[in-house]
Amino acid sequence: MDSGLVQDSSMAVKKKTDIFDKCFKFKTAKELQHAGIYPFFRIIESAQEPVVTMNGKEMVMVGSNNYLGLTNHPKVKEAAAAAIKKYGSGCAGSRFLNGTLDIHVQLEEKLAHFMRKEAALIFSTGFQVNLGVISALVAKDDVVVVDKMDHASIVDGCRLSFGEVKRFRHNDMADLDRVLGANNGRGKLVVVDGVFSMEGDIVDLPETLKTAKAHGARLMVDDAHGIGVLGKTGRGTCEHFGLEDEVDLVMGTYSKSLASIGGFIAGDADVIHYIKHFARALIFSASPPPASVASVSAALDVIDSEPERIANLWRNTNKMLDGFRAMGFEIGPTQTPIIPIIVGADETAFKFAMMLQEDGVFANVAVSPAVPPGKALIRTSYMATHTDKHLDVVLNAFSRVGKKLGIIS
């Protein structure tokens, strides 16, 4: 008898099913590797600076979220080293039990002050913030309403909640109004990105807030890509629109402008207190390590003491926005240091990224399902510490590759 069959005297012959079958059949990545156009998991041998080293070769980095250039700042590194010297490398437990250090509490107070909220709560990763907060707040009879272009961590946080999930068309206030109106009489949480991580556009926060309030919904803003970038003092999307006192919850990450890894939620003290006791992603995760906590604290100090970094970031951003548009690239509705170059087919994006790499430029690729089918893009992002020389290298490389691939003339 065929070894792939199991005989049961009381049942028909059944074929064995191996849960690993999907793994053995997955060939796409290996085919891209074989073709020399696989753009993921590239190995960097240096710090996340405007110029990085790959395979011993220097490349201009435009694929990093290190917007203010703080990951290698001397004060940030000194703070991390001092924290390790005092507290060691880790906390060996969760915040809920043995893993709360005095510097965790001090950072929460500092973040609350920075975000101009009553309280803040820190998590070990930004992804876990959205998992923990949404699943803690949205109960069985509630509804969570999200923008269709929200980050994957928001989507997964919704999946972990026991409430119903509703989506509205990207930045479409009429559709948000429709969705909320169909769910009157229920507890409602609207969750939006402040800056959308692939497209680089900014949420219509005034109208989102107005629509949410009209239906008695609470509003949470994931400002991972807004903090350190938007607002007069880098407080993010809410400061940009002058709505800091109006938005209920603001989520932020450290892995962009704040030079480390982790995340936080800021809002009313009672709400943060509740999340602290019901967010499984907090309670059952190891505590953020001392070096990370100290790095974020130092980064907040640098943001306040070196405001020229935000000005430099926007000078660089505007130069690149103007440069790409002048060459004829399609960059969509971006308004921020995230500038996507829309190239169309997935294979074109893979080729584009590898040709840029050959030309000394490191940029990222986004293909379906991260973006709509046929809208594959090269995602670029800029730092306050890029020089005009760095940016000219990037523009010249994009011009050469874009012409070779027939994307621009």
What pLDDT score does 368 carry? Answer: 87
What pLDDT score does 5 carry? Answer: 46
What pLDDT score does 49 carry? Answer: 97
Instruction: Tell me if 323 sits within 8 A of 317, measured CB to CB.
Output: no
Considering the candidates 73, 117, 166, 225, report the single residue annotated as catalytic.
225
Q: What is the mean pLDDT for each group of 10 consecutive residues in the chain (409 residues)?
A: 49 77 96 96 97 97 98 98 98 96 98 98 98 98 97 96 97 98 96 96 98 98 98 98 98 97 98 98 97 98 98 98 98 97 96 97 93 94 98 98 97
Considering the candidates 73, 117, 215, 256, report the single residue annotated as catalytic.
256
Q: How far apart are CA 263 and CA 285, in angstroms?
A: 13
What pLDDT score does 8 carry? Answer: 54
Instruction: Tell me if 258 sits within 8 A of 292, measured CB to CB.
Output: no
Q: Is 256 a catalytic residue?
A: yes
The CATH number corresponding to 35-64+307-404 among 3.90.1150.10, 3.90.550.10, 1.10.3720.10, 1.10.510.10 equals 3.90.1150.10
Considering the candidates 64, 124, 161, 197, report the single residue annotated as catalytic.
197
Q: How far apart are CA 325 and CA 110, in angstroms?
A: 40
Q: How far apart are CA 60 and CA 168, in angstroms?
A: 38
CATH topology identical between 35-64+307-404 and 74-305 = no
Cα-only R_g, the chain: 23
CATH number of 74-305: 3.40.640.10
Residue spans per domain, the chain: 35-64+307-404, 74-305
Cis peptide before 39 (omega within 30 of 0): no
Q: How far apart are CA 16 and CA 18, in angstroms?
A: 7
What pLDDT score does 10 carry? Answer: 53
What pLDDT score does 60 carry? Answer: 98
Phi, psi of 189 (to 5 degrees): -125, 120
